[in-house]
Amino acid sequence: MDFFNKIPVMDRTALRELKKGIDSSFKEFSRAYGDGIEGFFDPLLHFLIWLEKLLVNSPWPLVIGVFAILAWIGSRSIKLVIGTVACFIVIGYFGMWKNCMATVAIISVSTLVCIVVGIPIGVLMSKSARAEKAILPVLDMMQTIPSFVYLIPIIMLLGIGKVPGLLAVCIYALPPIVRLTNLGIREVDKETLEASEAFGATPMQKLRSVQIPLSLPTIFAGINQTIMMALAMVVIASMIGVKGLGVPILQAISNQYLALGMMNGLAIVALAIIFDRVTQQYGQRIQKHRGQLKK
C-alpha cells in the first residue's frame, strides 16, 4: 500500500550527483566552446550596434520620416501614417527617444533573424512529415518553457550583453513564423500545384514561384506574431544587458516609480500597435491581391 500512497522518489545523494554532473558538464562545454560560440555571433552583434547607433544618432525628423514611409508602404493608410508620426513625436517629447530607438533596433534585428531562420525551417516542415514531427515538440517547448529557464544556459555560455538578450528574444519569438510558414505552404491549393507540375516546374521552381507567393499572407501573419512576441520580451531582455524601453521599466519596478513604468510601458504598447497594424494591413493587401489572381 505504501507504493500507491507515496510516489517513488530518487535518492537524494543520487539526485545531487546527477545535478552536479549536469552542471559540471555544461560548465566544461561553456569553457571549451563559449568563446567560439560568442565569436560566431560577432557579426550579428556588430550589425545590432551599427543599427542602434544609426537610429540614435540620425536626425529625428529623418528617422520619423523613414518610419512614416515604411508605414505608408505597408498599410497605404494616411491615418496610420499620422498615428505613427504622432506616437514617435510623443515618445521623443517625453525623453524616451534613445531607449525607443534601442528597442526598435533589437526588435528589427531579432525579427530579421527569425525570418531568415524560421522560414526555411517552416518550408522543411511542409515538405517532410518526419521533419514536422521532429520539430513540433521543439517549438512547443520553446513556447511553453519559462523564459527565465533558458536564460540560464545562454548567460552561462555568453555572459551578460546584447547577444544573449537577442538570442533570448529570438528563441521566444521564432515559433510563430515557423508554424505559420508550414501551415501556409501546406494550404496552397493542390490544383494550382498540379498545374505548375503540368508545365514542367521543378520542386524548387514550384516552391519559389507558386507555394511561397500564395502562402505570403499566412507567412506575414507569422511575422506579425513574431514581432509581437519579440516586443513582449523587451523587459526580460533588459535584465541581461539589452538597452531599451525595458530598462526604465525595471528601474520603476525596483523603485516603485509608477509614472516611469507607465510611460515606458505605453511606449512599448505604441510600438506594438504600429508594427501590428502595418504588418496586418500589408498581409490583408497581399490576401486581396491573391484573391484577384485566382479570379
Supply the CATH number for residue 177's domain.
1.10.3720.10
**Is there a domain that residue 7 lies in?**
no
Query: Mean pLDDT across the stretch 159-178?
Result: 86
**Is there a domain that residue 174 lies in?**
yes
Q: Which of 69-73, 242-246, 281-285 has the lowest mean pLDDT?
A: 281-285
- In this prediction, residue 82 carries a pLDDT of 93
CA distance to 70, 79, 104, 179, 278, per residue, from 221 (Å): 18, 22, 19, 10, 11
**Is there a domain that residue 281 lies in?**
yes
- Does 1 have pLDDT greater than 60? no
What cell numbers appear for 21 in the block?
554532473
**Is there a domain that residue 282 lies in?**
yes
Task: Give the total number of structural domains in the chain.
Answer: 1
Question: Alpha helix (H) ranges present in 94-233?
Answer: 97-127, 129-144, 147-158, 162-186, 190-198, 203-206, 212-214, 216-232
Dump pLDDT digits (tens) for 223-275: 889 998 888 888 888 887 788 888 888 888 888 888 888 898 899 889 988 88
**Is there a domain that residue 248 lies in?**
yes
Query: Mean pLDDT across the stretch 38-57?
Result: 89
**Is there a domain that residue 9 lies in?**
no
In which band, very low, low, confident or very high, does the pLDDT at 45 lie, cut at 50, 70 and 90?
confident
**Is there a domain that residue 21 lies in?**
no
- Does 289 have pLDDT greater than 80? no
- Mean pLDDT score of the chain: 85
Domain extent for 135: 29-294
Dump pLDDT digits (tens) for 78-131: 999 999 999 999 999 998 999 999 999 999 999 999 999 999 999 999 888 898
- Does 36 have pLDDT greater than 70? yes
| Residue the block writes with cell 547577444 | 163
